[in-house]
Structure 1
Amino acid sequence: MPGSRSPNHLSLLLGILLGFLSVLHGALGGPQEQRVQIGLRLFRTMLAADRDLAEKVNAEGRLELALVYQDDRTQAEQFATALQESGRGSEQGKIRNFPIQITLTDLAHLKELRQRTPAAIYLVQPLPDPALEAIIRYGIDHQRIVFSPFAGQVEKGTLAGLAIEVRVMPYINETTLKQSGIRLNSLLLKVAKIHD
């Protein structure tokens, strides 16, 4: 059945991913570069942990993922390519067997998100607070994961990000999670750092 995963399978995947991310943490360049590269991998894991992901596919049966950027479309395109090529074997370009469809959105076109209702949103660049607040509100209202790899944005209300400490962990805003009604797999929540 598309989208199904056993608890043991998810536990194994999370263990492998967190170990892999911790190795990457020591191998990458500066802090910002670490966050954006690791963030994309963790974004996939967050989506796979969304228990209602199957209800968020579009009419074509695809997961439309919005990559939001401020002014660097080239970087957004690089992220889109990396995300489209991510996954192993039959999961390449898919998350839980659902094909990925990527939409690039800049600040001038944020209103278009309301018409498209993507399955999730990834922030490619740090955004000004008013734009960030609008995207956070959108995620809450539409039960969509909004992921930012940048420091301080989970504290501002972004649902998910990453914490780089002794090891790399998913970072979840508990208040936003409750307000949005998004149901994440309990295994992911057990390994995540929680901001309340």
Structure 2
Amino acid sequence: MPRTYIGIDQSYSGCAIVSYCPATGSAEEHTYDFSPAKAGSGPQRLGYVHNILREHFMHLRHEGTVRQVCFEGYAYGSKFRREELGELGGVMRLALVQTFPPHLLHAVAPTTVKKYVTGSGRADKDKMMLAVYMRWKHESSSHDAADAYVLARIAAGLETQQPLELKFQQEVIDSILNPKPPRTKRTA
């Protein structure tokens, strides 16, 4: 059974999940609408999101050989809807750890996702979509799906035994496999 790598990009209103198989070069894209109009609000919405994601992750687990999962981490500088995004991110993480072993799961900062495909952590959404197409000839249906595709490629790169062709991509993989310890605050 071919190895599969999963990339996930969640946002306030939805989620994109890409399953990438290097052996065939294929990528399967799924998008979900988690807007309040579709999913409700408060705890009802969180339950809805959890159930949808848990079902999808269980399907992926039973369908094939999931080797690594990368999901977009939080944009810590973001000011808008942080609480709701934190709740949705927590629900997604809960569904992931209920389905896959923790050593397969990797949170990847948004700037790191951008760097992996463009060489810079400051690319805008349109440049990301174009870069995904130019680098891998993968046409995504949305910005979230393009990010999820990059995350799936990063997940595949985590198992590559040989150095990657592009230096900035290898730097991204090395930073995920060998994270720097968190900074400690100095006390006076």
The TM-score, its normalising length taken from structure 1, stands at: 0.31
Report the structure number with the largest CA radius of gyration.
2
Higher relative contact order (CA 8 A, sep 6+): 2
